[in-house]
Amino acid sequence: MSEAVIQIRNLSKIYRDFWGRKKVQALNSLSLDVNKGEIFGLLGPNGSGKTTTMKLLLGLLFPTDGEISILGKSASDVSKNEQIGYLPEESYLYRFLNAEETLDFYGRLFDISPAERRERTNALIERVGLQHARRRQLKEYSKGMTRRIGLAQALINNPDLVLLDEPTSGLDPLGTRDMKDMILKLRDEGKTVVMCSHLLADVQDVCDRIAILFNGELKELGTVDELLTEQDETQLLTSKLDAETIDELKAVLAKHNADVRSVTHPRNSLEDLFLKTVRTSQERPGQRYVPSAGDGDSAGGSPEPPAADAESN
Amino acid sequence: MTVQPVSFDLLDGLIQWLVVFAGFVATFTVVALATSIPLYGVSGPKRVISGAMRGLTDFVSISPRRVYAIAMLAFKESIRRKALLVFVVFAGLFMFAGWFMEGDAARPELHLTNLVAFVFLAMTWIVLPVVVLLSCWGLPEDIRLRSLHTVVTKPVRRNEIVLGRMLGFSAVGTLIIVLMAAVGYGWILRHVPKDVAMFCRVPVYGSISFLDRNGNPQEQGINVGDIVMTRSFIEGGSKATAIWHFPISHEVDELKIESRFEAFRTWKGNMDRSLRVRFTLVNDEKDLRVPLPAYEVNEFRYNEVLISRHQEITDEQTLKKSEVDLFKDLLVPFDPQNEVHRKLQGDASAGVLTVHAQCLDRGQYIGLSPGDCFLRLTDRSFAVGYIKATVGLWLECLLLVVIAVTASCFVKFPVAFILTSSIGVVGSFAYGFLLEIVSGKQKGGGAAESVYRLITHMNETTPLPENLFTKSIVAFDKPLVEGLGIVRYVIPDLSHYGTSEWLAKGFDVPWNGVLLPAMAVTFAYFLPCLLLGYFSLRLRELEAK
Ligand SMILES: Nc1ncnc2c1ncn2[C@@H]1O[C@H](COP(=O)(O)OP(=O)(O)O)[C@@H](O)[C@H]1O
Ligand SMILES: [Mg+2]
């Protein structure tokens, strides 16, 4: 068992109104650990307490009950922030600053030399793909660009622990893919990542371990493989077979008492199709989808029929 | 016409500040400890103490780099929100204001007074509201939009946020004031009549005492029937005398006394000329009296009397003439035991000069207040006075920023704005009144009593009838008035910041009596406000509610 970066014990949070009356029980006795170097996913429907958990970890909210240890410090200890990067749910940034100024401002809040700060600013703007908009004020940014600069801002101090609240919300599939790749890269760099999301595909693609929250209670916790592998089924993927071969195979399987449940052609996900379409049109601009004569219901915008996609995970 | 500034004792002020500050800290600590027990049980006091210790470390480890970053952010925010547009309003005002400001040809120097007063009035009423608006708006908006969330998840201490905001908005205020002051100065130069000399008097005030018509010492002269006695009067053609003692710092070839006395005629007399006054330089120890030539009181302006260092006197008995030296023969050395000398403000290292003033017209009176007669040192340039007056406004702006930012750490924008403006208005216009109520000098009692008097049409000087009802009214008022006594320490006395009045009246802005206390008040508020704002931000969940 590797060392725990975050330890949460019996954490509860009750939101109260101005008069101290109970409004919402957002978290109920949550206990979990996040280990060093993993990507941990907090999964749950809207309002299940994911954001609340993150804010409690950061000391933005005060727990009603329970204990938090984050990087070995208490949540209210400001100095822990030196090693933490946080991407808020909506990118709560200053809309009157441009990308460079934003990174420069947040960089100044850390003990980084001016030269280093400039270097990191440039590198991060490049990393999140905002070179073209580096001098534009954030109020002109689209949602996706705001997410990107939000991520850059969270990485300005080269943190050991990154907390990402709905990192892919509002991003198009291309942006989502980029974001996921960037998250995976963070793990490769040895950082610990905690992300929360209600988008199941995102969590499935990147997370090592997940916790499922519902109504502030922990419902499920484990590695993605553990939780998702159907232990009593096996899937076989081959190149295209003709009907005879399939029958032959079925006979062999029947001999071994296996129960053949389905035989189909695999289908690509819409995500894969979309990504492929966009990439090819980037490579060959100007090419358009032309409906073939009398065939108005041809699927997709791809110039070629979809083939098996090597990029799918 | 002029009010002599009250000298400010920095050490005394500091001690008083420490006492009040310690009082508030002690009160907060006791309240915090007392409330922590029902909230957290026995561990409550421990939490309070460890919280206070953490506060201490936060203050010790303030980082100038982070404070600067936050200050620059507040500055940029204000500029990008077009705060400087107010400057356009200001400039626009000046393009047209000149049309309406016709001077009086007979009294051109009054025109300068009006111009100066107008420029500072415009600056005050444009800069202060704008800066207070910005300062009250920044933090609550930051909390509402949750942009503060991203900031506080960096290693920023909350006191750095408060301090940075204070500095940032102060920088905005400074920029606006500098720009406006420059425009205002140019405008004054353009509109001031050619024949008006622009300068600032540098007065040395003395202490005043009186002799009545029979030559007996008195604290005050005569009241000629004014309700508010700003001036004491002395009777002409009698022994009635006004006596000034002036501190003299060093020897010069010529002293200038400037005076502005009021004439009060009990009979017509000679209408072709004004009342006559004579100054006499006196050294009681050496029994030496040097009468200066009499002069006519110039009623609505001022008189200047030049005293050269060497004076000729004639002995009344022997008619022998002799020469006296102002500094060698007339000054008495400063004597710390002397009651009168001790009252003097200013440097008396060369000695103390005694000047007697008498009215020469029998049955007529001249009125004088302590500030009506002063030694006038070498004048300062108008520009220097203008800068000093601007500094006064600037200090007021800083104080309001400090208060506004602190208020905005607690409450939302509208409440913070109303709170800060109220403090500003009460502090500038009603602080004296507040003191009078608290000290019981104000007649008519507290809130309930004055309502009772209003309803029953009872004069405020009439004693209340003795019955249970009136007693309960007075009892009800007592805690209110005492509460005001505390408010008095919370609300700053902004009257110190009226620096432009001195300039408008042709005086240098006094350092000790005006600028120093203004600075002291600003600094006095800074630290407690920073502390309050810090604890508010730290103890609050920065959630938009
Ligand atoms: N500031 C707040 N005041 C009151 N209730 C809140 C506040 N923030 C969140 N909640 C409530 O707490 C619960 C959990 O919210 P949240 O943690 O934001 O959920 P999630 O991020 O999983 O969508 C919700 O019922 C939400 O309405
Ligand atoms: Mg959320």
pLDDT digit string, tens, across residues B121-138: 888 988 899 899 999 998
Per DSSP, the residues of B494-536 read GGGG-THHHHHTTBPPPIIIIIHHHHHHHHHHHHHHHHHHHHH
pLDDT digit string, tens, across residues B12-34: 888 888 988 898 889 888 988 88
pTM for the full model? 0.84
Which run of H or E residues covers position B259?
A: strand B254-259
Residue contacts between A and B (CB atoms, under 8 Å):
71
- Nearest CA to B177 among B87, B98, B96? B87
Ligand 1 binding pocket, CB closer than 6 Å: A 15, 23-24, 26, 44, 46-52; B 543
pLDDT digit string, tens, across residues B307-365: 888 888 777 777 778 888 878 888 888 888 887 778 787 777 888 888 888 888 887 88
ipTM score assigned to the predicted complex: 0.79
Nearest CA to ligand 1 atom 18: A51
**Range with the poorest average pLDDT among A53-57, A290-294, B72-76, B221-225:** A290-294
Nearest CA to ligand 1 atom 21: A51
Check CB contact of A101 with chain B, cutoff 8 Å.
yes
Out of A58, A109, A137, name the one closest to residue B66 (CB): A109
CA separation (Å) from B388 to B63, B140, B395, B427? Answer: 32, 34, 11, 21
Out of B58, B148, B154, name the one closest to residue A109 (CB): B154
Closest chain B residue to A56 measured between Cα atoms?
A: B541
Which chain B residues are closer than 8 Å to A81 by Cβ?
A: 153-156
Check CB contact of A62 with chain B, cutoff 8 Å.
yes
Is the CB of residue A66 less than 8 Å from the CB of residue A12? yes
| For residues A47-72, average pLDDT | 91
Sketch the domain layout of chain A as residue ranges. Answer: 4-228
Angle, helices A173-188/A143-154, rounded to nearest 10 degrees: 10
- Cα B174 from Cα B167, distance rounded (Å): 10
How is residue B536 written in tokens?
Answer: 């508010």
Atom of ligand 1 at shortest distance to CA of A55? 17
Q: Is the pLDDT of residue A307 over 50?
A: no
How many other C-beta atoms lie within 10 A of the C-beta of residue B335? 13
DSSP single-letter state for residue B326: I
Shortest distance between the Cα of A60 and any Cα of chain B, in A, equals 6
Distance between Cα B326 and ligand 2 center (Å): 86
DSSP single-letter state for residue B327: I
Q: Mean pLDDT of all residues in chain B?
A: 84
Is the CB of residue B280 less than 8 Å from the CB of residue B291? yes
Atom of ligand 1 at shortest distance to CA of A46? 23
Is the CB of residue B152 less than 8 Å from the CB of residue B542? yes
Instruction: Note the pLDDT of residue A115.
Output: 94
Q: Is the pLDDT of residue B3 over 70?
A: no
Distance between Cα A25 and ligand 1 center (Å): 9
Number of Cα atoms under 13 Å in the Cβ half of residue B50: 8
- Cα A296 from Cα A259, distance rounded (Å): 40
Check CB contact of A116 with chain B, cutoff 8 Å.
no
Q: Is the pLDDT of residue B545 over 60?
A: no
Distance between Cα A180 and ligand 2 center (Å): 18
pLDDT grade for B205, boundaries at 50, 70 and 90: confident
How many other C-beta atoms lie within 10 A of the C-beta of residue B482? 12
| For residues B371-395, average pLDDT | 89
Instruction: Note the pLDDT of residue A304.
Output: 46
Nearest CA to ligand 1 atom 19: A47
In chain A, % of residues over pLDDT 70: 92
Which chain A residues are closer than 8 Å to B66 by Cβ?
A: 108-109
| For residues B100-126, average pLDDT | 81
If DSSP codes are grouped into helix, strand and coil, which group holds residue A68? strand
CB contact under 8 A, A96 and B149: no
In CATH, A4-228 is 3.40.50.300: yes
Query: Which alpha helices (DSSP H) does B145-211 contain, by range?
Result: 147-152, 158-191
Instruction: Note the pLDDT of residue B383.
Output: 92
Q: Is the pLDDT of residue B221 over 80?
A: no
pLDDT grade for B229, boundaries at 50, 70 and 90: low
Check CB contact of B342 with chain A, cutoff 8 Å.
no
CA separation (Å) from B406 to B25, B132, B160, B176? Answer: 16, 11, 13, 21
CA separation (Å) from A313 to A135, A203, A220? Answer: 36, 13, 24
- Cα A180 from Cα A195, distance rounded (Å): 11
- The C-alpha R_g of chain B, in whole angstroms, comes to 29
How is residue B274 written in tokens?
Answer: 């004004």
CB contact under 8 A, A94 and B157: no
- Nearest CA to B79 among B176, B179, B178? B176
Distance of CA B342 to the CA centre of its chain: 23
Check CB contact of A289 with chain B, cutoff 8 Å.
no
| For residues B91-117, average pLDDT | 75
pLDDT grade for B99, boundaries at 50, 70 and 90: low
pLDDT digit string, tens, across residues B32-57: 888 888 877 788 888 888 888 888 88
Out of B154, B157, B542, name the one closest to residue A106 (CB): B154
Instruction: Note the pLDDT of residue B350.
Output: 81
- Cα A261 from Cα A252, distance rounded (Å): 15
Scan for tokens 């100038």, then name that residue: B64
- Cα B481 from Cα B465, distance rounded (Å): 21
Edge-to-edge order in the sheet of strand A22-35: A22-35, A4-16, A65-70
pLDDT digit string, tens, across residues A82-115: 999 999 988 789 989 999 999 999 999 999 999 9
Per DSSP, the residues of B72-113 read HHHHHHHHHTTTTHHHHHHHHHHHHHHHH-PPPTT-HHHHHH
Q: Is the pLDDT of residue A227 over 90?
A: no
- The pairing of strands B207-211 and B199-205 is unpaired
Distance between Cα A126 and ligand 2 center (Å): 28
- Cα B360 from Cα B263, distance rounded (Å): 12
Instruction: Note the pLDDT of residue B1.
Output: 37
Task: Show which of residues 154-213 on chain B sit within 8 Å of chain A, judged by CB atoms.
Answer: 154-157
Shortest distance between the Cα of A101 and any Cα of chain B, in A, equals 10
CB contact under 8 A, A93 and B147: yes
Which domains does chain B show, CATH number per domain? 10-199+381-539 (no CATH), 203-377 (2.60.120)
Per DSSP, the residues of A28-41 read EEEEEEEETT-EEE
| For residues B410-434, average pLDDT | 89
